[in-house]
């Protein structure tokens, strides 16, 4: 079942910073989806995101989607395996610095590190393991970038969004 953000209305990004996404999870997510922040697709994506062109944004286990102008963009990744997430939760419950990350209340660098190093399951998938698609016909386009920037901004607001997408 998918969750629709902002009741399907356009999501506005009000950051004055050139880079969108302030926290570590948000920055890593935006960089994984759009690794070339100076590219023309990234520049156009930022403009679209700031203009409120991204709406009907959905979050489901393994898939993010949204309408950008007249196109539909998606970003997909395999969910974190249940056995790995369960083990992480068990081991992290003894470490106060990880609890806020597991509960989706904070963008915990420690949780990112533990998942990547100890469990070989990155919280934010690396770019080549992501599937990007857009109805415009170009998978690495400004519409996918705009969706990524909106999602990064929303992760800053609600870190649990990343966990819900990853199936945690």
Rounded to an integer, what distance in angstroms lies between the CA atom of residue 22 and that of residue 156?
7
pLDDT tens for 67-117 read: 999 999 999 999 999 999 999 999 887 787 789 999 999 999 999 999 999
The CA radius of gyration of the chain, in Å to the nearest whole number, is 15
Q: Which two tokens stand for residue 96?
A: 């106060």
pLDDT higher for 37 or 63?
63
Please report the pLDDT score of residue 52 as a whole number. Answer: 95
For the whole prediction, is pTM greater than 0.85?
Answer: yes
Asked if 149 contacts 47 with a C-beta cutoff of 8 angstroms, the reply is no
Segments of the chain assigned E as strands? 3-4, 54-60, 63-68, 71-76, 131-134
Q: Residues near 90 by Cβ (< 8 Å), separated by ≥ 6?
A: none
Asked if 156 contacts 20 with a C-beta cutoff of 8 angstroms, the reply is no
């Amino acid at each position: 079942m998918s969750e629709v953000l902002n009741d399907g209305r356009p999501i506005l990004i009000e950051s004055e910073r050139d880079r969108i996404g302030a926290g570590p999870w948000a920055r890593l997510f935006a960089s994984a989806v759009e690794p070339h922040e100076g590219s023309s697709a990234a520049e156009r994506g930022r403009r679209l995101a700031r203009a409120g062109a991204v709406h009907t944004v959905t979050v489901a286990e393994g898939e993010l989607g949204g309408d950008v102008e007249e196109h539909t963009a998606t970003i997909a990744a395999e969910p974190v395996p249940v056995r790995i997430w369960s083990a992480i939760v068990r081991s992290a419950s003894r470490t106060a610095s990880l609890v806020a990350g597991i509960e989706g209340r904070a963008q915990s660098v420690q949780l990112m590190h533990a998942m990547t190093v100890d469990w070989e399951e990155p919280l934010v998938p690396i770019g080549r393991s992501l599937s990007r698609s857009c109805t415009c016909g170009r998978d690495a386009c400004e519409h996918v970038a705009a969706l990524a920037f909106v999602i990064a901004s929303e992760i800053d607001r609600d870190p649990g969004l990343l966990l819900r997408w990853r199936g945690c």
